[in-house]
A and B are shown apart, each in its own frame.
Chain A
Amino acid sequence: MIDVNRDGEVWIFAEAEQGRLSDVPLELMSKGRSLAQTLSVPLGAILLGAGVAPLADKLVAHGADKVYLVDDRRLGHYQTSSYRHVLCDLITRHKPQIVLYGATPLGRDLAPSVASAMWCGLTADCTDLQIGDHTPPGTDQVHKNLLLQIRPAFGGNIIATIVNYDRWPQMATVREGVMPMTEADPARKGLIVDASADLDGLVLPLKVLQCERRQKKVNLKAARIIVAGGAGVGSRENFQLIWNLANCLGGAVGGSRAAVDLGYVDHDHQVGQTGTTVRPALYIACGISGAVQHRAGMAESARVLAINSDRHAPIFSVAHYGIVGDLKDVIPRLVKVIRTGAGIKA
């Protein structure tokens, strides 16, 4: 661990794969900027890999004041122990007060390992971050300007705010898709630090025999309109109704975990706590009861239309419009109205 260091920077681990930055570090930049501004410290990005130097400018354009770059062929393929080694080295030398990671499979593999080696705290899967004060119960000592790490817990049934006031840095992983990505500003200026870490004696215990990446079949995060189906759709055949409605609206198809588990639709389409977090202009939930895990992934949508035969389904609690009825009857009516333009006349 490092000591409490009020001058420490705010850092974002800039996850990159196959020569390209992941979405999460860029999503984290706007939040990182506001945290750094509140604390009046610089925002740093940590960029590790082989041949990643060209990505540093993009991090600056998205808001980094500094980019700590470690470009080494031994870091070309991610391994827990080598990345942990470099991060612990950088943290020990530069003493940042906050280090944020995307809650991606890589971030969730790396961050706990760093936290264990540094003996510092780590909060998983945050959905929001703020700066605030904390007074430990039973004391009158106020710890000012801590990172408030806000996350759903207990299957999403509670929202917990976690702090770490003594064993720093304050570290958190942040869910993908919960923070809006800001536009890049190519005119921004930043410092690129060649942070030549101590790589001698670096151990690479894994031999990578094969690595395959594929594009997701659907990009739900970018969709303006999402039509999603749940267990209430009833069958894979009925799920065609969801596709029909999405097609005529130019939207993407989503599904609840139940629909995915029942095989109605592929996992790439899953919205919710274990799927994708979305914030479209319009979210149409069809036959989705609205378990808290699902609502956690779509409640930020600008408009929610819920179609469900059960008037008491929890999905209506986050809906702006609700239709209580059988989706097999309602969806064809919607499709007909949209196709014929009858809505315009109404």
Chain B
Amino acid sequence: MAYDCVVCIKYVPDTKKVTGEAMKADGTVNRAALPMIYNPEDLNALELALAVRDAHGGSVTVITMGAPAATEILRDSLCRGADAAVLLTDRRAAASDTLATSYILSRAVKLLPHDLVICGRQAIDGDTAQVGPQLAEKLGLTQITYLEALEGLEGGTIRARRNLGNGFEVVEAQLPALVTVMDTANVPRPPAARRIMKYKKARSRPEVAAAVAAEMGEDADKDAVAAEVERRCQGLAGKGLLIEAWDLERVGADLAFCGRNGSPTKVHKILSVVLTGGEYKEVPATDEGVAELVGELIQEHTIG
């Protein structure tokens, strides 16, 4: 039995690489200076989908919601072996919280064949781990979070090992289901050289439009620009290199549930964590220094 998989991925700032260059003078992080990357655990989600397809047949479609720049990880997914990619992009989706995001994603996933929807456990920018479970609820799918091993897939039944933090459980469920994948579940395959040669030329429609606008200049005739965009997109589509771009109309989303209006959670305040110089007592790295320190800790009953 073949399985159609949809993998939800996110383009995120690399919050683990907060180096000196990414710090502003006031000690806070300059978010714009952080490189954007494929959310690490989403690569494990993609790998799981590719392994399922390689073993059983079926298809792997990746989808991401974000700005046109997120096409980058769709291209990367195609190079790693995905069959199709969808960019879900719409300015009115900006500022969506996890609830609005999962609603919009659910509208899109409904349009794609899916026996298995696969997400990374969580994204490294928000670390919420909420979109996966919320998407499962919106789609009415059985939810299996913290997957650390796919133990079996047979006749429409999935068997998976879940990490419970202080142990594990092995569960079985009928498909369709949504799973969220831990980074320990597998080792993501690298992009294949042959596929890179082909898919490095893949573009999403907004990327094509941006390129045409840049080439033809601001004064160019609007109709001529549109015609050129269409011509190039047709050309890409003919070669299987056009990455579909969907907006909120395309997925039939109710605007009341999207973006800021569709988000119950609102930001009240943001405080940057400031890394100031500490006012600690420096102890010399000598026997005398260390003895004095230990004496002080004993006297205040911290040790001893």
Which residues of A are in contact with B by a Cβ distance under 8 Å? 1, 80-81, 84, 104-106, 108-109, 111-113, 115-117, 119-125, 132, 134, 136, 148-149, 152-167, 205-216, 225, 249, 273, 281-282, 291-293, 302-303, 305-306, 314, 316-326, 329-330, 333-334, 336-338, 342-346
Contacts and interface: CB of A to CB of B under 8 A. Distances in A.
Nearest to B31: A154
9 contacts: A111-B130, A120-B264, A121-B97, A124-B130, A158-B270, A162-B265, A162-B267, A225-B303, A319-B280
Given A112-B131, A316-B280, A317-B275, 16 more contacts: A1-B264, A108-B130, A122-B99, A136-B266, A153-B127, A157-B28, A159-B273, A161-B269, A167-B264, A205-B174, A211-B170, A225-B302, A318-B278, A320-B281, A338-B294, A345-B291
A119 B168 CA distance: 30
Contacts of B28: 157-158
A324 B285 contact: yes
Interface centre among B124, B132, B137, by most chain A C-beta atoms within 10 angstroms, is B137
Contacts of B290: 323, 330, 333-334, 337
B146 A346 contact: no
A305 B276 CA distance: 17
A148 B292 CA distance: 44
B283 interface: yes
Given A120-B264, A125-B127, A211 B167 contact: yes
B280 A322 contact: yes
A159 B164 contact: no
Contacts of B303: 225, 249, 282, 338
Contact of A282 (B142, B169, B288, B297): B297
Interface in B148-181: 159, 163-174
B165 A122 contact: no
B302 A282 contact: yes
Given A116-B102, A318-B278, A208 B273 contact: no
Contact of A109 (B13, B99, B145): B145
A181 B166 CA distance: 20
A214 B13 CA distance: 35
Interface in B41-95: none
A118 to B, nearest CB: 10
B167 A212 contact: yes
A322 B278 contact: yes
**A-B interface, 3 closest residue pairs, ranked by CB to CB distance from nearest:** A155-B15, A343-B294, A325-B285
Contacts of B273: 152, 156-159, 292
Given A105-B163, A112-B98, A322 B128 contact: no
A160 B126 CA distance: 11
Nearest to B144: A206
Contacts of B99: 115-116, 119-122
Interface range on chain B (Cβ under 8 Å from partner): 35 or more
A208 B266 contact: no
Contact of A105 (B102, B164, B171): B164
Contacts of A337: 287, 290-291, 294
Contacts of B288: 346
A157 B264 contact: no
Contact of A158 (B144, B168, B272): B272
B298 A344 contact: yes
A105 B147 CA distance: 12
Given A302-B302, A342-B294, A113 B133 contact: yes
Interface centre among B29, B146, B268, by most chain A C-beta atoms within 10 angstroms, is B268
B167 A214 contact: yes
B174 A105 contact: no
Contacts of B230: none
Contact of A164 (B127, B173, B264): B264
B188 to A, nearest CB: 16
B196 interface: no
B302 A122 contact: no
Contacts of B169: 208, 210-212
B268 A163 contact: yes
A112 B129 contact: yes
A208 B142 CA distance: 14
B295 interface: yes
B295 A161 contact: no
A212 B102 CA distance: 32
B125 interface: yes
B225 to A, nearest CB: 35
Contacts of B127: 124-125, 153, 155, 273
A159 B268 CA distance: 11
Contacts of A208: 169-171
Given A124-B127, A317-B277, A337-B294, A109 B133 contact: yes
Nearest to B263: A121
A164 B287 CA distance: 56
Contact of B266 (A109, A165, A207, A323): A165
A154 B29 contact: yes
Contacts of A154: 13, 15, 29, 31, 125-126
A244 to B, nearest CB: 14
B133 to A, nearest CB: 4
A54 to B, nearest CB: 22
Contacts of A166: 264
Contacts of A306: 280
B172 A206 contact: yes
B204 interface: no
B173 A116 contact: no
A112 B133 contact: yes
A159 B270 contact: yes
